[in-house]
């Protein structure tokens, strides 16, 4: 036997060594195999009124930590409300297009509700309602087609004139129907609009740069708004126009026979409204100022306090107080001022001889002349939530304007209170 050599059952030893080498080689490979990822079940459903189109509805398996896109689409007459269920990792609960991060077994539901009324606008003898899905509804006089709003979509504000109706889309464009004798409906080229007003035969539009567009009857100069700047709200009377500046001052043009345009000295104003031949404004302290025709006492508002909304009809004025009750003054021949028993109100609008208000429950109230059915709003769907914002001049603390303006508004300083 040679020194340093093995003898005996060398072939067994060689086998053991070879097996050890093989195991040593494959062990790291086995140890390095990735652990299968945890998978969780995501169950998706919807209520009546719509569907989840992405990724669909049912049960889906996803890896832990996977971000899943969600898209919910409402049926006609409905709007998306929110996501409910296991929503801790849903990025935006109130958005129909969002994501969810799957890190457990989750069950979520897309909730839809019927489209509700979010805003009302009263014309001379007609009333128009804006639903929360951006569509519109109307009742009353249709002698000039002013109720032809049934196919309007994507609306964020409406205004009613003598015998015409205008609507503001969410992209800043404008649509109109009804009497166009004076060209008051020729708004097809308007863009970047943030607020509308309709008079007897003219239409005003405040733009996002604070200027104002005007079309229609101009016999008294009510469309002479070319030099207006810094405007955040407009109001149109029969033959006069009024604009609220971002600094709380007011400008007016048009017929001033009864002093309805004497607003030069007004300051601290947070909302304006125009009647047939009178103008009213809410100050930031909740008091009210008025000028113009006072034959029926429609300007007798000097003792009003705590006012947060205001509207003016042909010869009457209506206010909503901070406790939700209503007050009115002026001509009451048709009962248009019979609002003493109203409560829990959130907004108000006034036509020629009728008044329409909205309660915080969503119910629409109407009093006054109903010759054309302009007060027949009882069948309108209730309000789901108040969607009209509040725009106040800088430094204002009162919540006092129904002004509804999209997020992309004026290139000027504003304080927005929702």
Domain co-membership, 123 together with 147: yes
Question: CA torsion 100→102→108→112, rounded to 10°?
Answer: 10
**C-alpha span between 175 and 152 (Å, rounded):** 8
CB–CB of 346/339 below 8 Å?
no
Integer angstrom CA distances of residue 329 from 70, 279, 307, 318, 336: 52, 13, 14, 7, 9
Question: 359 pLDDT band (50/70/90 cuts)?
Answer: confident
What are the backbone angles phi and psi of residue 400, rounded to the nearest 5°? -130, 20
In a domain, 68, yes or no: yes
Which range marks the domain in which residue 380 is found? 117-417
Domain co-membership, 71 together with 165: no
**C-alpha span between 315 and 70 (Å, rounded):** 52
Given 87, 114, 141, the domain boundary residue is: 114
In this structure, of 203-207, 365-369, 403-407, the range with the lowest mean pLDDT score is 403-407
In a domain, 11, yes or no: no
pLDDT per position as a tens digit, 270-328: 999 999 999 999 999 999 999 999 999 999 999 999 999 999 999 999 999 999 999 99
Given 56, 89, 114, the domain boundary residue is: 114
**C-alpha span between 248 and 403 (Å, rounded):** 14
Instruction: List beta partners, residue 311.
Output: 318
Q: Strand pairing of 354-359 and 364-368?
A: antiparallel
Strand intervals (E) in 293-334: 307-312, 316-321, 326-330
**C-alpha span between 106 and 67 (Å, rounded):** 13
Given 68, 99, 114, the domain boundary residue is: 114
In a domain, 13, yes or no: no
- With tokens 């009124």, the residue in question is 49
Domain co-membership, 181 together with 60: no
Domain co-membership, 123 together with 109: no
Instruction: List beta partners, residue 312.
Output: 317
pLDDT per position as a tens digit, 249-267: 999 999 999 999 999 999 9
Higher pLDDT, 119 or 337: 337
pLDDT per position as a tens digit, 140-192: 999 999 999 999 999 999 999 999 999 999 999 999 999 999 999 999 999 99
Question: 25 pLDDT band (50/70/90 cuts)?
Answer: low
* Structure token digits, residue 10: 């060398």
Domain co-membership, 241 together with 257: yes
């Amino acid at each position: 036997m040679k020194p340093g050599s093995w003898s005996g059952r060398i072939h067994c030893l060689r086998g053991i060594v070879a097996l050890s080498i093989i195991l040593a080689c494959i062990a790291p490979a086995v140890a390095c195999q990735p652990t299968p990822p945890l998978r969780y079940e995501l169950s998706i459903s919807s209520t009546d009124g719509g569907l989840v189109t992405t990724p669909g509805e049912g049960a889906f398996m996803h890896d832990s930590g996977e971000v899943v896109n969600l898209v919910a689409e409402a049926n006609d007459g409905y709007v998306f409300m929110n996501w409910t269920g296991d929503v801790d990792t849903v990025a935006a609960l109130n958005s129909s297009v969002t994501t969810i991060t799957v890190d457990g077994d989750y069950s979520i539901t897309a909730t839809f509700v019927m489209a509700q009324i979010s805003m009302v606008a009263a014309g001379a003898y007609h009333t128009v309602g804006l639903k929360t899905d951006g569509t519109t509804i109307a009742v009353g006089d249709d002698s000039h087609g002013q109720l032809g709003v049934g196919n309007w979509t994507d609306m964020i504000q409406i205004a009613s004139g003598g015998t015409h109706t205008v609507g503001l889309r969410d992209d800043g464009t404008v649509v109109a129907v009804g009497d166009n004798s004076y060209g008051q409906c020729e708004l097809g080229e308007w863009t970047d609009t943030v607020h509308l007003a309709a008079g007897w035969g003219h239409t005003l539009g405040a733009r996002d740069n604070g200027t104002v567009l005007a079309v229609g009857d101009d016999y008294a100069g009510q469309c002479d708004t070319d030099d207006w700047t810094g405007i955040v709200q407009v109001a149109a009377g029969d033959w006069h126009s009024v604009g609220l500046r971002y600094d709380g001052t007011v400008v007016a043009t048009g017929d001033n026979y009864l002093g309805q345009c004497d607003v030069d000295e007004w300051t601290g104003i947070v909302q304006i409204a125009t009647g047939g031949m009178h103008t009213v404004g809410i100050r930031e302290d909740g008091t009210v100022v008025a000028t113009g025709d006072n034959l029926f006492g429609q300007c007798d508002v000097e003792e009003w306090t705590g006012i947060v909304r205001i509207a003016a009809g042909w010869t009457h004025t209506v206010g909503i107080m901070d406790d939700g009750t209503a007050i009115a003054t002026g001509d009451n021949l048709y009962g248009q001022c019979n609002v003493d028993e109203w409560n829990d109100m959130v907004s108000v609008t006034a036509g020629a001889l009728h008044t329409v208000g909205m309660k915080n429950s969503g119910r629409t109230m109407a009093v006054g002349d109903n010759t054309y059915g302009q007060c027949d709003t009882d069948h309108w769907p209730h309000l789901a939530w108040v969607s009209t914002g509040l725009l106040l001049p800088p430094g204002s603390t009162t919540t006092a304007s129904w002004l509804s303006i999209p997020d992309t508004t004026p290139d000027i300083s504003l304080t927005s209170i929702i």
